[in-house]
């Protein structure tokens, strides 16, 4: 429950703005036609190959239950446990994020989104990347 | 024209030769040919699982792949792909959900295909339809 100032990559997915610690982000990529994964939940749009690695693509808007927008850009995360791409229809760049970073919910994906927080231009939900990865890998 | 996928070999990978490339609705699946002892007709009356369900569609008359231990998976179309290809590893994010049913991914005919283990994938489909999870 502490107020923090850290550098985050800020991006929009659907109508919502998100921020993720800059040190977890590898690059912003454009992805081609995705390969669907059999049995995957709706927020897992598919996978694509990037530099010899298969990257799963997740739509955060679908995951949090807001309106999704079609895009072929994603923020590529490289974490200790693996890689993951989050779709982004807008990327605002790296900003300082201010706010009390408490979980925005007590269950589900919102446990791994923190706030209320804001950049100089907008309110954002700050992603806990490792927590989100664990949640998704368990079938969430 | 779709953007080409980047499959540069930055990481070592296993090779596989002899695949059955299959379609199920708008999904695609690959199986090792050596894991398939027969390709038969699939009809709804068979009650064997169909891969279309894993992509959110209803089963449809098509082909049935039969494994060495009698497990069956229905698909819409089957074609043979003989060229050796590299197997790309399964992302960590998918390992728990897919369990042993997925062996990785292969790049063939200008696209990426999930490489599935036929028997395990049949059981995965049955479990999914019953609401269970690996």
ipTM: 0.88
Query: Which DSSP letter does residue A35 get?
Result: B
pLDDT over 80 (residue B53): yes
Q: Are the Cβ atoms of B91 and A56 closer than 8 angstroms?
A: yes
Secondary structure element (H or E) that encloses residue A63, with its range: helix A60-64
Chain B from 21 to 50: CB within 8 A of any A CB: 24, 26-29
Domain borders along chain B are 15-122
Q: Which domains, ranges and CATH numbers included, belong to chain A? A: 6-137 (2.40.50.180)
A27 touches chain B (CB under 8 A): no
Q: Which of B13, B94, B112 sits opposite A48 (nearest CB)?
A: B112
Terminal-to-terminal C-alpha distance of chain A:
25
User: What is the nearest CA distance from B27 to chain A, expressed in angstroms?
Assistant: 6
pLDDT over 50 (residue A1):
no
Average pLDDT score over residue span A113-132: 92
- With CB atoms and an 8 Å threshold, state whether B92 touches A47: no
Q: Does A51 touch chain B (CB under 8 A)?
A: yes
Residue B11: pLDDT above 60? Answer: no
Highest mean pLDDT among A11-15, B77-81, B130-134: B77-81
Q: Is A84 on the interface with B (CB under 8 A)?
A: yes
Euclidean distance between CA atoms B41 and B32, whole angstroms: 19
Distance (Å, whole) CA A59 – CA A127: 13
- The CA distance from A44 to A56, in Å, is 7
Nearest CB among B27, B92, B107 relative to A137 is that of: B92
B91 vs A: CB within 8 A: yes
Nearest to B104 by CA among A81, A47, A30, A83: A47
Q: What is the mean pLDDT of residues A6-32?
A: 92
Q: Which of A35, A51, A84 sits opposite B112 (nearest CB)?
A: A35
Q: Do A137 and B93 touch (CB under 8 A)?
A: yes
């Amino acid at each position: 429950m502490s107020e923090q100032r850290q550098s985050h990559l800020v991006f929009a997915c659907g109508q919502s703005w998100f921020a993720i610690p800059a040190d977890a982000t590898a690059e912003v990529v454009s992805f081609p036609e995705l390969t669907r994964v059999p049995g995957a939940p709706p927020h897992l749009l598919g996978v694509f190959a990037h530099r010899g690695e298969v990257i799963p693509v997740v739509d955060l808007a679908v995951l949090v239950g807001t309106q999704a927008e079609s895009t072929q850009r994603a923020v590529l995360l490289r974490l200790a446990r693996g890689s993951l791409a989050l779709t982004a229809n807008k990327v605002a760049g790296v900003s300082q994020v201010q706010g009390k970073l408490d979980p925005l919910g007590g269950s589900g994906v919102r446990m791994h989104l923190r706030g209320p927080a804001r950049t100089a231009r907008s309110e954002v939900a700050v992603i806990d990347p490792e927590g989100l990865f664990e949640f998704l890998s368990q079938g969430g | 024209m779709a953007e080409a996928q980047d499959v540069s070999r930055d990481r070592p990978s296993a090779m596989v030769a002899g695949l059955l490339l299959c379609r199920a609705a708008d999904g695609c699946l690959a199986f090792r040919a050596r894991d398939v002892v027969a390709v038969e007709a699939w009809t709804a009356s068979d009650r064997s699982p169909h891969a279309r369900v894993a992509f959110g569609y209803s089963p449809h008359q098509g082909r049935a792949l039969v494994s060495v231990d009698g497990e069956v998976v229905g698909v819409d179309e089957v074609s043979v792909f003989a060229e050796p290809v590299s197997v790309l590893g399964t992302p960590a994010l998918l390992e728990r959900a897919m369990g042993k049913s997925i062996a990785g991914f292969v790049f063939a005919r200008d696209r990426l295909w999930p490489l599935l283990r036929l028997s395990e994938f049949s059981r995965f489909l049955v479990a999914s339809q019953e609401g269970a999870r690996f």
